[in-house]
Structure formats: structure tokens, C-alpha cells
Amino acid sequence: MKVLLLGGTGEARELAGLLTGAGIEVVSSLAGRTSDARVPVGEVRVGGFGGAGGLAGWLLGYPVDAVIDATHPFAAKITENAFSATREVGTPLLVLRRPGWTSEPDDNWHWVDTASAAAELLPRLGTRAFLTIGRQGLDAFAGTGLWTLARCVDPPEPRPTWCTLMLARGPFTLADEETILRDHDIDVLVTKDSGGPATAAKLTAARRLAIPVVIIHRPPVPTAPAGSAGPAGSVGHEVVETVEEAVQWVMRASHSPST
């Protein structure tokens, strides 16, 4: 069995290792935007496909038995493209989406839909903000008037002058996060609902220091219209939350008579 694994996450790297170890042929795909990206084991291709049509064309040229979308919960475009292309070509699709974060009783979380909405809310919650949303969406915060620390893996281009940049790649420990919040006198934290343990320590640190958190809702996973199927017939998609469930899905598919 051969799968195309859309990656760029820790789960995708873990899944590539487990599937390769189980004898499944895996082609991992990375967008190629992050410098010094952690590369999964097995075959790797880098760069966009050229939209949904480009991905469909790729699948026709390099047939696989399934596509696994294990991209970041906020990488909405590639997920949309995977839905559209797999339906067009008739390739089964599995979406691996880690669950979002949930608040605890002592948390002071403010949910918003967009980076702009977060920026609008910010001045009512604090004066010194810590942005942990990555490079994308950063510009929305340029006009808040708050002193701002922004953490990203790679610097935005052009480099913003209205905030202090911290270049760092997770995972981050609770001690790291508490030190950052204290050393910079942060009184409001902004995050996306990425979920997962690698970047969750900041939420615990904020809770311990009684700092409010503005949290941006993740985009929904697309759903196919009821009763619809792609031109190639019985195309389905499934959504799972863990790497273990994804491995099981592939193992079931590899034993099914059609693969």
C-alpha cells in the first residue's frame, strides 16, 4: 500500500515513521516554508502542488491508495485542496486532526474567530501582549498600541518594527513559558487553538500567573455535501484525532480487497 501524507506537523512525522516501519510506502509532502524543517523518514517531496487541480493532477501521475491530511489544524487551504482533489480523483482521504484545547476552571479565556477580532479585543484585556500565533496573521496586531512580543519559528518578511520578535521552535516547557511571561511583564496572551501538548505549556503558565488568554477558533474541517461522491465513485473521508487511530485506519485499508 502507498499513501501520500500531507505533513508539516509532529504527528505527520510520527505517522510517517510508524507506517514506514510497518511496511507501508509513504510519500510525505511538506509545504517548504519553514527553514531547517524537521524531515520525516521515507520519501519526501517539498513545495505546493498548485492548488486543488495541481494536487489532483499529482494524484493521477503518482497514484496512491490513500491520502492522509496530517497538516496543522490552521492549514485550511491544503485541507480544502485535499478534499477537493481526492473527490475528483477517487482516492480515499483520512484527516488526522488533533483535538483542540479546553479551558480549566481557573482559566480566563476569550474565544474569537479571527486574528483581527483578537487584536480588537486586546486593549481591553492588557497592555503587554505575548503573541504565539506564528507569522501568519501577525499584521492584524500592528495597530493595537500595546507593547508586543511575537514568537515565530522564522521571521516574518518584511520584519515588523512594531513588535519585539522571539524566534523559537517548540516544544516549550512550563518553566520556559513562565520565565517569558514574567521577564517581559506579559499581561495578556494570544494563541490559536492549535491543540496538542507541544505548545500547551503557555496555557498552564498563563493560568498560574492569572493572565487572560485570547484564543482563536480553528477553521472547521470541510465536509462533503450529503450523499455526494466524486466523479470516480465511492470516495470517502474519515477524521481521526490520534496517530494510533491513523495507523489503524491504514492497516485496515491495506487489508481490504481493493488495495
Residues of this chain that interact with ligand NAP (CB under 6 A) are 6-9, 29-31, 33, 48-51, 54-55, 71-72, 74-78, 81, 134
Distance between CA 14 and CA 68 in Å, rounded?
Answer: 13
- Cβ closest to ligand NAP, residue 134 vs residue 212: 134
Q: Taking the complex as a whole, how short is the minimal distance between the CB of residue 167 and ligand NAP, in angstroms?
A: 15
Smallest gap from Cβ 208 to ligand NAP, in A, equals 25
Length of the chain (residues): 259
Half-sphere exposure of 128 (CA within 13 A, CB side): 10
Report the residue number, 158 or 233, with the smaller CB distance to ligand NAP. 158
C-beta closer to ligand NAP: residue 3 or 187: 3
Question: In the bound complex, what is the minimum distance in angstroms from residue 229's beta carbon to ligand NAP?
Answer: 23
CB 10 to ligand NAP: min, Å: 9
Q: How far is the CB of 30 from ligand NAP (least distance, A)?
A: 5
Instruction: State how far the Cα of 228 lies from the Cα of 28, in Å rounded to an integer.
Output: 28
d(CA 78, CA 91): 16
Residue whose CB is less far from ligand NAP, 69 or 187: 69
Which triple of cell numbers denotes residue 81? 485542496
Helix (H, G, I), strand (E, B) or coil at 113: coil
Q: Which is nearer to ligand NAP, 68 or 247 (by Cβ)?
A: 68
Nearer residue to ligand NAP within complex by CB, 49 or 109:
49
155 alpha-carbon distance from chain centroid: 18
Q: How far is the CB of 169 from ligand NAP (least distance, A)?
A: 10
Residues 6+ away with beta carbon under 8 Å from 178: 205, 208, 209
Which residues have a Cβ under 8 Å from the Cβ of 232 and sit 6 or more positions away?
Answer: 88, 89, 90, 91
How many Å apart are CA 100 and CA 26, to the nearest integer? 27
Nearer Cβ to ligand NAP, position 115 or 187? 115
- Residue 8 gets the label, from left (phi > 0), alpha (psi -120 to 50) or beta, of left
Rounded least distance, CB 234 to ligand NAP, Å: 25
Cell numbers for 204, please give them. 498552564
Residue nearest to ligand NAP (CB): 48
* Listed residue (174, 173, 142, 137) closest to 152, CA to CA: 137
